[in-house]
Amino acid sequence: MTSNPKLAVFLASPRGFCAGVDRAIQIVEKALARYGAPVYVRHEIVHNKHVVNRLKAMGAIFVKELDECPDDRPVVFSAHGVPKSVPATAEQRDLLYVDATCPLVSKVHIDAERHDKAGREIILIGHAGHPEVIGTMGQLEEGRMVLIETEADAEAFTPRDPDNLAYVTQTTLSVDDTSAIVEILKRRFPHMASPHKEDICYATTNRQGAVKAIGPKSDLVLVVGAPNSSNSRRLVEVATRAGAKASYLVEKADDIDWAWFENISSLGVSAGASAPEDLVEDLLAAVAERFDITVDTIEVAKEDVIFKLPRAVAEA
């Protein structure tokens, strides 16, 4: 009987669910417990179809816009945040709504409003079309915020007043990419106001730090996450930059292409902030069927952040 080849597995820690994602999922679960099914959810509560499908099975109905929601049922807004027009419309219709926006995203919204009230032109560093970016830009009147996506954008940007600028960022960006853009902006506009505290969330920073730690040790890195998850895609990029010979995003164990494993002796594993841990466990189990694995957890930070639930569901 042929024994399975040996494979060293480096498991990134922290990985998977962050406090904002955990809170958002709890909000939907507790809304269902308090108000009964169905509870409507505007957009995916978090970017993971396995989470979404589980909540659907419990009685959540996911919609794109509020006009798909009836007047007599509660609606939850996703963790990514929404433009101000969304709760305003809900209030006009007298809808019961629960805002599951991550508190760290809400902090960016508050910072943007503070800069706007001070009369500053605001730069948002982020990715066009991402729900969080749409929500952040929707906190202010159109034209009050300029989106910058790349270093080239930062070099080309022409402000109304170079001495009256501020910047905020999407919370799920690559730490390294964002710092490069900020450096260009600060060189060009030395008086630009910065966030009081870094906008990129602690969970994004920690997960990227853990992947940087496993990347150099790994012939291959697999990141469990959804293709529309910004923080998951950034982890794949970070792994490659850190020295992994190859890095791929997979939604689940079934997505693994076993050809990736040819001639490798080490595997790094992480998961995006909206990926449940059972998907990581399934992936490790699938690898263990084909290889004799040893698992070494590489921890770069401990996380103990907990965000309070909104009053509307806290008692459920």
Q: Does pLDDT of 231 surpass 80? A: yes
Name the domain count of the chain. Answer: 3
Q: Is residue 138 included in any domain, yes or no?
A: yes
User: In this structure, what CATH number is given to the domain that contains residue 98?
Assistant: 3.40.50.11270
Average pLDDT, the chain: 95
Q: How many CB atoms lie within 10 A of CB 106?
A: 16
Point out the catalytic residue in the list 113, 121, 132, 277.
Answer: 132
* Residue where one domain finishes, among candidates 36, 68, 102: 102
Domain C-terminal end among 51, 74, 102: 102
Amino acid of residue 299: E
Q: Per-residue pLDDT tens for 192-202?
A: 999 877 778 99
Is 209:299 a contact under the CB 8 Å cutoff? no
Within-domain flag for 307: no
Same domain, 182 and 139: yes
Nearest to 316 by CA among 36, 18, 72, 69: 36
- 260 with 293, same domain: the answer is yes
Domain boundary among 52, 70, 102: 102
- How far apart are the C-alpha atoms of 181 and 236, rounded to whole Å? 20
**Does residue 295 fall inside a structural domain?**
yes
Residue 104 has pLDDT above 60, yes or no: yes
pLDDT score recorded for residue 3:
86
> What DSSP character marks residue 259?
G
pLDDT digits (tens, 9 = 90+) for 260-283: 999 999 999 999 999 999 999 999
* DSSP strand pairing (220-224 vs 145-148): unpaired
pLDDT higher than 80, residue 150: yes
Phi and psi based region of residue 241 (left: phi greater than 0; alpha: psi -120 to 50; beta: remaining): alpha
What CATH number is given to the structural domain containing 220? Answer: 3.40.1010.20
Whether the model clears a pTM of 0.85, i.e. scores above it, the answer is yes
65 catalytic residue (yes or no): no
Q: What's the pLDDT tens digit per position in 161-189?
A: 999 999 999 999 988 889 999 999 999 99
Is 302's pLDDT higher than 70? yes
> Which residues of the chain form beta strands (DSSP E)?
6-13, 39-42, 60-63, 75-77, 97-99, 121-125, 145-148, 165-169, 220-224, 246-250, 266-271, 292-299
Q: Strand 39-42 to strand 292-299: parallel, antiparallel, or no bridges (unpaired)?
A: unpaired
pLDDT number for residue 174: 86
Which of the four pLDDT bands, split at 50, 70 and 90, describes residue 316? low
Q: Which domain holds residue 53?
A: 19-102
Average pLDDT over residues 284-288: 98
Alpha-carbon gap, residue 197 to 179, rounded angstroms: 14
Contact (Cβ atoms closer than 8 angstroms) between residue 222 and residue 269? yes
pLDDT of residue 2: 63
Same domain, 80 and 118: no
Same domain? For 38 and 79 the reply is yes
Question: Quick one: 287 and 230 in the same domain?
Answer: yes
Task: Give me the mean pLDDT over the 63-68 stretch.
Answer: 96
Give the whole-angstrom CA distance, residue 127 versus residue 290.
Answer: 38
